[in-house]
Structure formats: C-alpha cells, structure tokens
Amino acid sequence: MHPGLTRRLRQVLPTARVELAALPDVPELQLYLLNADFSNAALTPEEISAVLDYPAYWIFCWASGQVLARHLLDHPHWVRGRCVLDFGCGSGVAAIAAAKAGAARVIACDLDPDARLATATNARLNGVTVELADDFETVDATVDLILAADVLYDRSNLVWLDRFLHKAPQVLLADSRIKDLHAPGYRWLDRRISTTWPDLDEFDDFRHVNLYLGSQVRRSELPSQA
Ligand SMILES: C[S@@+](CC[C@H](N)C(=O)[O-])C[C@H]1O[C@@H](n2cnc3c(N)ncnc32)[C@H](O)[C@@H]1O
C-alpha cells in the first residue's frame, strides 16, 4: 500500500487503498492504483456524492492510457530525443512510457494535484524523471509531441484538440469514448483493445480504443482558439 496516496484517496473513499499494480498490456510498468478488490457495493450516498464531486481519475490506468503507453514502448521513434507533453496524465502512464521510450524531456500535465502527486510517485517507482505542470496554457517549453489518453470523456474537452495543435506539431490521441471523431488536423491511425485497470467492468465498447495522429496544418487553416 502507498500511505501518502492512500491518505489522499481516503478523503473521498474511506475504505479504499492505493496499491502496486502490474498493467496487463504494459507489463514493463508498475503503477500505484486503486486496490483491485475494492468493492463499490457498500458505498454510502455521501461517499457516492463525494466521488462524483471529485472523480479521482488517477486511481485507474484507463484503457486508452494502456494503449498509448504500449504504442510508445513498441514504437519509440515517436518520442526518442523529443520534448513530450502528456495532457491529462492521471496516473502518469503515458508520460512514464514516453520517458522509458527515450524522450529527452517529459512534461506531465494535470489540473488535479493528486494526479500530479500520483504521477511523480509512479515516475519514481519506474525509475524515470518527468516534470509536472498544472496548467497546459502556461507550459513554457517547445513541445514536439502532445500525448492525450482518455481526455474526451466529456465532450466539452473536444476544444482541446485545436489547442494542442497550436502548441505542438504532432499529437497522439487515444480515445475509447467518442466513436465518430472528426476533428480538423486529426486522422485515425489504429484500433486496439484494452481494459481500464483495475477493471471497471465497463461496456465492451469502452475497451475499443482508437488511436489518432494530429498534425499541425497551416495556422490559417486551424479554427481560431476558443
Ligand atoms: C480519464 S483520466 C485519463 C488519465 C490518463 N491519461 C490515463 O489514460 O490513464 C483524464 C485526466 O485528464 C485530466 N484533465 C481533465 N481536464 C484537464 C485539463 N483541462 N488540464 C489538465 N488535465 C485535465 C483529469 O484530471 C484526469 O486526470
């Protein structure tokens, strides 16, 4: 069990633990995640409400995160020697895979301070260094590649796709939520099957992860920033 992360999680889920997990599709990495035998059956209405108010996304490695990490470890040329920013890093899975695959610099960005703490802890656990950022807009670095895994769970996040292409020439996007994605500058690359870990027993549909490549087009062709 990880005491510091467990303390953070217990503010919303008093009976949960954060413990070491091996990822089924990325056995090279270990992460601190929600205990696999956690049962939500006995949650009180207050606990359910606390979870809805503060969704602790970082206690899971999402199916899209596993797929993106696998892709980077299998095809390190995407990141080797480059400056990579992982938007919505959660547990840090994609950022850590990028660092393992040889990125020169990795910035892991999440607005949730607990996600940043989890990412820092998981990076140390896997023997890599990542920098942390809380606000994408204020990251002051020349970014070569943006990674984004499972950040489109809320359709209002679609606006980020344009913002990514204003910041970096390339984006690797992994998503299992939106099945009809048509965004300027983005093209479909591949489709893989994976599972959110620990297994949330989600609909089969959410196990099908699409991988997209976003490429900067001429600025005049991009929609103006919202
Ligand atoms: C579903 S989780 C995915 C985590 C990780 N990428 C994975 O695949 O396991 C989405 C993450 O995006 C973060 N997020 C959402 N909006 C954000 C924003 N505007 N800036 C930074 N992070 C954001 C959330 O806090 C959450 O940690």
Chain segment 5-26, per-residue pLDDT in tens: 999 999 888 888 999 999 999 9
Percent of the chain topping pLDDT 70: 95
108 SS3 class:
strand
The residue whose CA is least distant from atom 21 of ligand 1 is: 110
Question: Which residue from 12, 25, 59, 110 has its CB within 8 A of the most atoms of ligand 1, so it is best to mutate?
Answer: 110
40 SS3 class:
coil
Q: What is the pLDDT of residue 133?
A: 98
Site residues for ligand 1, CB cut-off 6 Å: 57-58, 61-62, 64-65, 87-91, 93-94, 109-112, 115, 136, 149-151, 153
Q: What is the pLDDT of residue 11?
A: 87
Q: Say which residues have a Cβ less than 8 Å from residue 203's Cβ, sequence separation at least 6.
A: none
Strand intervals (E) in the chain: 18-22, 30-34, 83-87, 105-109, 131-133, 145-149, 170-175, 186-193, 208-215
Digit-coded pLDDT (tens) for 92-125? 999 999 999 999 999 999 999 999 999 999 999 9
Does a cis peptide bond (omega within 30 degrees of 0) precede residue 14?
Answer: no
Q: Cα–Cα–Cα angle for 16, 98, 205, nearest 5°?
A: 60
- Going along the chain from its start, the domains and CATH numbers come out as 63-221 (3.40.50.150)
Name residue, tokens 């409400």: 49
Structure tokens at 3: 């005491």
Residue 51 in this model has a pLDDT that exceeds 60: yes
Residue 41 in this model has a pLDDT that exceeds 70: no
Residue 226 in this model has a pLDDT that exceeds 60: no
Per the prediction, the chain carries an average pLDDT of 91
Residue 137 in this model has a pLDDT that exceeds 60: yes
Asked whether the beta carbons of 98 and 66 are under 8 A apart, the reply is: no
Residue 167 in this model has a pLDDT that exceeds 70: yes
Q: What is the pLDDT of residue 218?
A: 61
Q: Say which residues have a Cβ less than 8 Å from residue 210's Cβ, sequence separation at least 6.
A: 174, 175, 176, 179, 181, 188, 190, 191
